[in-house]
Structure 1
């Protein structure tokens, strides 16, 4: 076979795999199993059937998954935005930072006492399993939207605690036996504090600069605007990493800052990053699945140790750690229970497991296989039961079906005062007519779309939940249009 034919065969196989993965949502819905679990298991099974697939070096795996996570975290930050994150910031910070530390410590104690793992390896295992995963969270939610602060808290936690978990594990990996307990503890805290501070600073400054760049520097083609934001997100990751900070935190914060901002071609930028994040999720789980042999899981103790730790993590550790941290919030009890349940593990724990696996020792291989089992349990059991738990907790998970048609106009200048809202449950505008809203002369409803159909704007038109409205406001007005169309808990 010639070189060009070999390359063509490679492209055929890769594109066929991606195509099958893209249509796997139908299979996932039918089996009620989240798509990431299918990617992991299918890739692991393929590596058993074709052992040469497992010859991909760990360095390549780590680099590919790192690139995928940068894309996923930036898109996740844009999805949340500043306004939504502000309402849940206290909960996100408490469970994303303190909760990650406490979870890592509790899992380390369980792994050491129950299974006799050395303390350092147990701590590394706990740090690897402590963060939740944005790829799984966003994949499981899919086109569903969770009302209230619960959805923002889950998404914000998955974006915030990944940098925390990664920084914690890398700090622990630098510990040596000669450091002593006190020196090791101070060293871990010092490295962690530096990574978080530098990452946050780069994210805040870089996000602000990115906004100025998008708003003020024109590009010759609209297709270049999304590519520019993608390039800058990697610039921020690289800058933060070179400055000994958390590149993942910098990218996530920058995405949050961009999320709510008005900018030219913003919808095109959002659609591009959303599509790219979906592809990154597939690539991350497939390449991570190739590093594990399903057959080897059952020839060691990995499967039952992982199962025990997964059950402890889901039903004991996370409720005892995250539950009390959420008491300070004003979230209803159903929202708190749902947040506790939704701490899904995924690509990030497995990526951290590759850092443990570098030495190649038998104990490290066992730890890596344990992480794989825990992640598989979390994705299948926790992820699969999320809709059921949401219903029992009184959480509304509304489907957002894709809308293939759009109505709009292009302008050379940013339309001053134009805002688009989807009327949320409990918003003042829901169930009231346009006349009842007393909008006055500085605020008026320009367009209403209901179930894909444009409605004629009249004074007696009754607005309903889930209506999409385009509002025009006087730029000098001090009235807050969001207060009319968005429930207070979501502002």
Structure 2
């Protein structure tokens, strides 16, 4: 049992130190060029029984529960920040990669594992299924604040957010075939479509219900709204999974619906979930790092097999899956090459690798160790070179300008008013105009302008410039009118 030899004070101290370590490595990961999730894993391995020996942890079932919980939070946060207008344009290719792509990858890697590891074919295919999907936590973390073209980023994020059902289906089906040899895999195919359908339908339903509830319920404190949104994410996953649907898909779809809806306390909800997702990542990868024993992982056999299977996954299986899955889908050779390289593996394969251990299957520990090694290789090699690959293939997008400032208003809900944040761009019709010349609604007040991270006090003669963040206090009933004014484009843009 985790921390069973420690008292309450020691447990809290070690937990705090682990979170501090995670935050510090996240701070320096971009400077070092190493994906933060790898460093989180290394922290877990360092304090584990084969490292400093501070913590002994080998409970795969507990790691599985923590992993699933964390993935729900990470998927929810990723979906909230995804623009539907961008995802819609890549929905077809993303779904193809998330289904056909995962199947092709799993088969190629599975047959390779069968020949390389000298195991049964069905065990090799199980290994392929476990590492067959890209990972939302790894992809979201790798793309965040990186200047990748929107089409590429949206494709990868949508794929990683929707390919878990296929990987989970293949993994659980193959485990069932191993445990119950008289099972017929063709009989399981309808189950997959049922899981996908229920995940999609319930995701939309819970997303709309959450959006409506957030906007209409009157809570005593604004701090409760972000927690309310997380509760919906957990309910969406659990209810969908309970009735046989894909909980992961439902959570991602619900987050898409919520994130693209007009929300009260939108900024607070987004900021809270971003912080909570970071905490979930730190917790999950440290726990997964604790679960592996370096003495068993870094052996000659595991490392040799791991390197061979990683090479086959990265340089053969993933590219074949991408090129077949995107046939006649208007992706250039450079774009397909980038999608092939950016197929990161992460927490999902490691969490799925705990299922054979929990079931007590033969060779399950060996499979887990090699999966872990493949994930480390993928994140180190691919994750640290995504920006370079995008630059090499001329797929670098505009610099992401993410505001690190906020203006909070107390009791906005009770006052029926909202603080709107809007960033201008070169197409905005208000750019170049003075505030007194813009026909804002009577009940809208410009509270502040943030320009180059500096506060500009607004008055009638203040000119709005490209890239300004406008913070506007407006009564709820005038919000749509204000939105239409802000989203007006220049005459040149309209005519193009």
- CA distance in structure 1 between the partners assigned to 2:131 and 2:487 by the alignment: 39
Q: Is residue 46 of structure 1 aligned with residue 50 of structure 2?
A: no
Q: Is residue 192 of structure 1 aligned with residue 186 of structure 2?
A: no
- Aligned partner of 2:99 in structure 1 is 97
CA 171–301 in structure 1, closer or farther in 2 if over 3 Å, else same? same
Checking the alignment, whether the CA contact within 8 Å between 2:86 and 2:150 is kept in structure 1 is no
- Aligned partner of 2:407 in structure 1 is 406
Unaligned stretches of 5+ residues in structure 1? none
- Aligned partner of 1:468 in structure 2 is 469
Unaligned stretches of 5+ residues in structure 2? none
- CA distance in structure 1 between the partners assigned to 2:377 and 2:110 by the alignment: 19
Q: Is residue 428 of structure 1 aligned with residue 434 of structure 2?
A: no
Checking the alignment, whether the CA contact within 8 Å between 1:135 and 1:281 is kept in structure 2 is yes
3-state SS in 1 of match to 2:73: helix
Q: Is residue 127 of structure 1 aligned with residue 129 of structure 2?
A: yes
Checking the alignment, whether the CA contact within 8 Å between 2:74 and 2:136 is kept in structure 1 is yes
- Aligned partner of 2:82 in structure 1 is 80
- Aligned partner of 2:38 in structure 1 is 37
- Aligned partner of 2:259 in structure 1 is 259
- Aligned partner of 1:64 in structure 2 is 66
- Aligned partner of 1:155 in structure 2 is 157
Checking the alignment, whether the CA contact within 8 Å between 2:428 and 2:487 is kept in structure 1 is no
- CA distance in structure 2 between the partners assigned to 1:184 and 1:482 by the alignment: 55
CA 4–287 in structure 1, closer or farther in 2 if over 3 Å, else same? closer
Checking the alignment, whether the CA contact within 8 Å between 2:83 and 2:260 is kept in structure 1 is yes
- CA distance in structure 1 between the partners assigned to 2:307 and 2:184 by the alignment: 30
Q: TM-score, normalised by structure 2?
A: 0.85
CA 415–150 in structure 1, closer or farther in 2 if over 3 Å, else same? farther
CA 478–262 in structure 1, closer or farther in 2 if over 3 Å, else same? closer
CA RMSD of aligned residues (A): 3.4
Offset at 1:224? 1.1
Checking the alignment, whether the CA contact within 8 Å between 1:124 and 1:356 is kept in structure 2 is no
CA 432–288 in structure 1, closer or farther in 2 if over 3 Å, else same? same
- CA distance in structure 1 between the partners assigned to 2:23 and 2:118 by the alignment: 42
CA 310–414 in structure 1, closer or farther in 2 if over 3 Å, else same? farther
Q: Is residue 230 of structure 1 aligned with residue 194 of structure 2?
A: no
How many pairs align? 476
Q: TM-score, normalised by structure 1?
A: 0.86
String of CA shifts for 1:431-461, please: whole Å, max 9, x gaps: 97449xx99899x996764312456688995
- CA distance in structure 1 between the partners assigned to 2:374 and 2:465 by the alignment: 46
How does 1:78-477 map onto structure 2 within 5 Å? 78-176=80-178, 184-299=184-299, 301-331=301-331, 333-360=333-360, 363-394=363-394, 395-396=396-397, 398=399, 400=401, 403-406=404-407, 410=412, 412=414, 420-423=421-424, 428-429=427-428, 433-434=432-433, 449-453=450-454, 463-464=465-466, 466-469=467-470, 475=480
- CA distance in structure 1 between the partners assigned to 2:21 and 2:403 by the alignment: 20
Offset at 1:368? 1.0
- CA distance in structure 1 between the partners assigned to 2:172 and 2:189 by the alignment: 11
CA 177–271 in structure 1, closer or farther in 2 if over 3 Å, else same? closer
- CA distance in structure 1 between the partners assigned to 2:222 and 2:209 by the alignment: 20
Checking the alignment, whether the CA contact within 8 Å between 1:132 and 1:345 is kept in structure 2 is yes
CA 449–55 in structure 1, closer or farther in 2 if over 3 Å, else same? closer
Checking the alignment, whether the CA contact within 8 Å between 1:96 and 1:161 is kept in structure 2 is yes
CA 480–337 in structure 1, closer or farther in 2 if over 3 Å, else same? farther
String of CA shifts for 1:458-484, please: whole Å, max 9, x gaps: 8995843x4435699984799796573
- CA distance in structure 1 between the partners assigned to 2:21 and 2:482 by the alignment: 51
Offset at 1:355? 0.7
Checking the alignment, whether the CA contact within 8 Å between 1:150 and 1:336 is kept in structure 2 is no
Checking the alignment, whether the CA contact within 8 Å between 1:45 and 1:293 is kept in structure 2 is no
- CA distance in structure 1 between the partners assigned to 2:420 and 2:331 by the alignment: 28
Checking the alignment, whether the CA contact within 8 Å between 1:132 and 1:158 is kept in structure 2 is yes
3-state SS in 2 of match to 1:290: helix
- Aligned partner of 2:489 in structure 1 is 484
Offset at 1:328? 3.4
Checking the alignment, whether the CA contact within 8 Å between 2:430 and 2:486 is kept in structure 1 is no
- Aligned partner of 1:25 in structure 2 is 26
- CA distance in structure 2 between the partners assigned to 1:355 and 1:4 by the alignment: 27
CA 463–325 in structure 1, closer or farther in 2 if over 3 Å, else same? farther
String of CA shifts for 1:174-222, please: whole Å, max 9, x gaps: 2248766xx6331331221222122222211111111111111111111
- CA distance in structure 2 between the partners assigned to 1:144 and 1:432 by the alignment: 26
CA 396–267 in structure 1, closer or farther in 2 if over 3 Å, else same? same
Offset at 1:362? 5.4
CA 222–4 in structure 1, closer or farther in 2 if over 3 Å, else same? farther
- CA distance in structure 2 between the partners assigned to 1:440 and 1:245 by the alignment: 49
Checking the alignment, whether the CA contact within 8 Å between 1:143 and 1:399 is kept in structure 2 is yes
- CA distance in structure 2 between the partners assigned to 1:460 and 1:396 by the alignment: 31
Offset at 1:236? 1.3
3-state SS in 2 of match to 1:91: helix
Offset at 1:385? 0.6
- CA distance in structure 2 between the partners assigned to 1:376 and 1:188 by the alignment: 32
